[in-house]
Structure 1
Amino acid sequence: MAKQRVEDLDWKNLGFLYRDLPYRFKAEFKDGEWQEGELTTDATMYLSEAAEVLHYGQEIFEGLKAYRQKDGSINLFRPEMNAKRFENSAKRMVMEPYPADKFIEAVKEVVRANEEFVPPYGTGGSLYLRPFMIGTDPIVGVAPSSEFHFRIYATPVGAYVQGLTPAPYLISDFDRAAFAGTGQVKTSGNYAGSLYPSVQAKKRRICGLFVLGSTRT
């Protein structure tokens, strides 16, 4: 995929898509400690075919946004809350938490490095940031990884839901997460289970799903 050029963007019609921006942040946990993180231009990750994340889904992620202000400055929306949830998700998924202060600073580094891709004030767009962590050990039996890769990428996006026009929704019998399971954390397995009912809803021209708690209340 070619690197995104800022001059090719239509700020008012961004959609909610991935675009390969110049910089992202990466850090690795190995030998019992987090290595020093850094910005990189390489959007490719290299994993063993037996990497834990590929078979047993040891992965967590977050999503937050940076907004251009009227005076041209850039604000992040409560990154400390995302850092805290990321820490809680890591503990639940038996992963080494990435320090909250370093998490927030890494987010800021990615925004600064890709500043020209923060949509202009008044366009309705924002710079979406996706921090995530995966277990990378080559593992055959079910077990937690001892090594992890933390990364943050960014992409300019429009509104996730367009406008305030009333839209139909579907009540479904599918559950996304089990009672006393992982529904309270942001891990990939929760979302993989929602793909089938989401596709079925779209076939019926339903715009989305509301997910209730595991007791359906």
Structure 2
Amino acid sequence: MLDTLEISVKKVEKSRIEEVDFNNIPFGRIYSDHMFIADYKDGEWTDLRIQPYENLSLAPASSVIHYGQSVFEGLKAYKTKSGQTTIFRPMANASRLNKSAERMCIPEVPEELFMQALEKLLKIDSAWIPNQNGNSLYIRPFIFAMDDYIGIKPSDTYRFMIITCPVGSYYSEPVKVKIESVYTRAAKGGTGFAKAAGNYAGALYPARLAQKQGYHQLLWTDAKQHKYIEESGTMNIMFVINDTLITPEIGSTILNGITRNSVVTLARDWGMQVEERKVSVDEIIQAAKDGTLQEAFGAGTAATIAHIKLIGHEGVDYTLPAIEERKFSNKVLKALDAIKSGESEDKFGWLHMV
């Protein structure tokens, strides 16, 4: 058993939960009553506390503002049919947070700190976990530099926080994507595998250009040749061609998605042929042309499974089969939802009970 950490608690005087319409929740706009905070100084995480959700006070010279030393994670909590609170694969998120932190010269958050803070916060704000089908409590752990110093070096002080928000669907409809052949999200040796804040900032402008053309997201390609598909803006990318699940292999430029891993695990467990490898743009476009591209979808925490209905490339849009015809992605989405809700056996030990 892990030692119980000392986490102080200051609760809100009055909850805001009565103001929330849980049947109409915008994604990432409404936040739960409390948040967790820990501060890193003199080589250790100190002052562990849960307090009311409120704005932060930062020095104008705070190094995170000027140099972007920040990493984050995203995971979800659910209520089972019996009312039990569960978190989907939180230890995987704790591990990935520390991999991202290492790349950005940020101190590691011990797993016991991550888990105990998360559990205590969820117990306090358990009423914020939606019961409605398709809804969940989104959890955002993050770490950022706190030094009051304008100078390019790793900070000596940091803050680790966890905030939560009830959410509905990230995408309200199947998405249209465009294969990006000019701009680059990540290059070999860079920070593409990490959930570093700056990765997302650099992707905003190309994504905006695509959105002006009527697309929801980009399919990023390799930085050197723009020849191979890597991932989408908010999720890993997967294709079904001739009844085979094909997805780009994980590397230094692609996030090691937890939902991605879950989908691949289920597919293999069902006996489906799975290929994790380089996926060329030419291969996908040819499959779209000859009708062998049966499905394309994104996999990520926010969306879980996001059906892709159209792929744009070099001025041509390729429409994919109707959503109801997609056997695998519909099946895997249903299976993941059933595991998270406790309706199906958790044979892989993915659920963490709170």
TM-score (norm. length: structure 1): 0.91
Q: What is the one-letter code of the residue matched to 1:169?
A: V
Report the Cα distance in structure 1 between the residues aligned to 2:122 and 2:109, rounded to whole angstroms. Answer: 19
Report the Cα distance in structure 2 between the residues aligned to 1:210 and 1:67, rounded to whole angstroms. Answer: 30
Task: Please state how far the C-alpha of 1:203 moved relative to its aligned partner.
Answer: 1.8
Residue among 86, 90, 115 paired with 1:79: 90
Report % sequence identity. 37
Task: Please state how far the C-alpha of 1:22 moved relative to its aligned partner.
Answer: 1.2
Report the Cα distance in structure 1 between the residues aligned to 2:100 and 2:176, rounded to whole angstroms. Answer: 32
Report the Cα distance in structure 2 between the residues aligned to 1:154 and 1:135, rounded to whole angstroms. Answer: 21
* Structure-2 residue corresponding to 1:145: 155
Richer in strand (by share): 2
Report the Cα distance in structure 2 between the residues aligned to 1:199 and 1:106, rounded to whole angstroms. Answer: 36
Instruction: Report matched runs for 1:164-183 at 5 Å.
Output: 165=174, 167-172=175-180, 173-183=182-192
Task: Please state how far the C-alpha of 1:52 moved relative to its aligned partner.
Answer: 1.0
* Structure-2 residue corresponding to 1:59: 70
Q: What is the one-letter code of the residue matched to 2:136?
A: S
Task: Please state how far the C-alpha of 1:210 moved relative to its aligned partner.
Answer: 2.5
CA distance 1:212–1:78, change in 2 (3 Å): farther
Partner SS state of residue 16, structure 1:
coil
TM-score (norm. length: structure 2): 0.57
Task: Please state how far the C-alpha of 1:4 moved relative to its aligned partner.
Answer: 7.1
Report the Cα distance in structure 1 between the residues aligned to 2:91 and 2:221, rounded to whole angstroms. Answer: 26
Q: What is the one-letter code of the residue matched to 1:23?
A: H
| Worse overlay, 191-200 or 36-45 | 36-45
Q: What is the one-letter code of the residue matched to 1:33?
A: E
Partner SS state of residue 53, structure 1:
helix
Residue among 198, 205, 208 paired with 2:214: 205
Report the Cα distance in structure 2 between the residues aligned to 1:119 and 1:128, rounded to whole angstroms. Answer: 10
Greater radius of gyration (CA): 2
Task: Please state how far the C-alpha of 1:42 moved relative to its aligned partner.
Answer: 4.3
Task: Please state how far the C-alpha of 1:68 moved relative to its aligned partner.
Answer: 1.2
Q: What is the one-letter code of the residue matched to 1:13?
A: N
Partner SS state of residue 193, structure 1:
helix
* Structure-1 residue corresponding to 2:99: 88
* Structure-1 residue corresponding to 2:114: 103
Q: What is the one-letter code of the residue matched to 2:62?
A: A
Residue among 46, 49, 66 paired with 1:35: 46
Report the Cα distance in structure 1 between the residues aligned to 2:220 and 2:69, rounded to whole angstroms. Answer: 22
The number of equivalent residue pairs is 212
Query: Structure 2 regions of 5+ residues with no counterpart?
Result: 1-13, 229-354
Q: Alpha-carbon deviations, 1:87-112, whole Å to 9, x = none?
A: 11111111111101110111112211
Query: Structure 1 regions of 5+ residues with no counterpart?
Result: none
CA contact (8 A) 2:31 2:166 kept: no
Report the Cα distance in structure 1 between the residues aligned to 2:203 and 2:117, rounded to whole angstroms. Answer: 30
Q: What is the one-letter code of the residue matched to 1:81?
A: A
CA distance 1:37–1:142, change in 2 (3 Å): same
Which fold has the larger relative contact order, with Cα–Cα distance below 8 Å and residues 6 or more apart in sequence? 1
CA RMSD between the two structures: 1.7
Report the Cα distance in structure 1 between the residues aligned to 2:105 and 2:78, rounded to whole angstroms. Answer: 33
Report the Cα distance in structure 2 between the residues aligned to 1:5 and 1:147, rounded to whole angstroms. Answer: 32
* Structure-2 residue corresponding to 1:187: 196
CA distance 1:114–1:212, change in 2 (3 Å): farther
Q: Does 2:145 align with 1:135? A: yes
Report the Cα distance in structure 2 between the residues aligned to 1:212 and 1:27, rounded to whole angstroms. Answer: 37
* Structure-1 residue corresponding to 2:128: 117
Task: Please state how far the C-alpha of 1:140 moved relative to its aligned partner.
Answer: 1.8
Q: What is the one-letter code of the residue matched to 1:179?
A: K
